[in-house]
Amino acid sequence: MPEFFPDRTDPQPMNANWSAISCAFLACAAFILVYWTTGKLALRWRVALASAALLAAVPGASFALYYTHLIPETAWYYEFRSTVGVELALVMVGVAGGLAATLLPRLLLGVPFIGSAVLCIVPSIKPFLGPLGKLEDQWKDGVCLQSTPSTCGAASTATVLSDLGGNTGEEELAMQAHSYAGGTEAWYLARAARIRGYDVRFDFGDGFKTEGILPAVVGVKLGAMGHFIAVLGREGEKFVIGDPLVGREVLSLEEMKQRYVFTGFHMRVRNRS
């Protein structure tokens, strides 16, 4: 933990994704309802419906499968996950599970139910397993400093929004983006920025793309640890950096490459026209 992090052991109020949790319960209810209402249909109809439902459940199931790292990180997937209300896709996981259960012996009913429940609950359980410590907005030369080891994303996004004329701090963004002790998922940061009237676009590539729109939240690695920084603009051949661990700096591309390993992630933000 960097030395300048104050000792804040008081827990932050729970910032769980209650909409996702509600959809997980709806999925479980859908499982039971579908199982009991379709169980007496002809086998061919149950097979056809289950096949269609399994395809429709893929988007919702991907929420949990993402954490297996089997799904490549792409801009379109981040755009999909940042859509308001996308958590409703979880309900189709319950529908598919209920239909699949009608094709199995009753003794095996628990298998699809537990599988559906796990797929729906995993995406929203992190804030419960790793709650944040106390957050406190800190600014240095126009850069929001992270007040916990895991809120670099929220702090970097706050810096980018401030550069565009906004007035939102780390604490507000971390709560809205469901930050937890392991970090912040960028699609929730994008959603929070869009709610405030900004256009957000994800961009993936090899390393840092110098030709893209700035400001941007950029993914890097410090050793083995993932980290987010804000790249605010250019000053000649150099870039204005807002590192939430350090503050404001002006670095050349070579200096940036010496310090950071760029993951290829860019979340580009601009004022809405």
Walk me through the domains of the chain, giving residue ranges and CATH numbers: 18-124 (no CATH), 138-271 (3.90.70.10)
**Is 90 strand, coil or helix?**
helix
Distance CA(82)–CA(187), nearest Å, equals 4
Tokens of 182: 């392991």
Residue 3: pLDDT band with limits 50, 70, 90: very low
Sign of CA dihedral 200, 204, 205, 208: positive
pTM above 0.85, yes or no: yes
Mean pLDDT for 167-187 is 94
pLDDT tens by residue, 41-65: 999 999 999 999 999 999 999 999 9
- How many other CB atoms are there within 10 angstroms of residue 170's CB atom? 28
118 with 64: CB under 8 angstroms? yes
Distance CA(47)–CA(64), nearest Å, equals 25
- How many other CB atoms are there within 10 angstroms of residue 18's CB atom? 12
Q: What is the pLDDT of residue 6?
A: 47
Mean pLDDT for 159-173 is 96
Residue 72: pLDDT band with limits 50, 70, 90: confident
Distance CA(214)–CA(210), nearest Å, equals 9
- For the chain, the average pLDDT equals 92
Q: What is the pLDDT of residue 134?
A: 85
Report the candidate in 80, 81, 122, 120 with the shortest Cα–Cα distance to residue 98: 120
- How many other CB atoms are there within 10 angstroms of residue 36's CB atom? 11
Report the candidate in 240, 214, 212, 220 with the shortest Cα–Cα distance to residue 152: 220
Q: Tokens 């920084």 belong to which residue?
A: 229
Q: What is the pLDDT of residue 10?
A: 56
CA 193 to the chain's CA centroid: 13
pLDDT tens by residue, 76-105: 999 999 999 999 999 999 999 999 999 999
User: Torsion over CA of 193, 195, 198 and 202, rounded to 10 degrees?
Assistant: 50
Adjacent-strand bridge partners of 233 = 240
Beta strands 225-235; 138-140: pairing state: unpaired
Tokens of 79: 């755009």
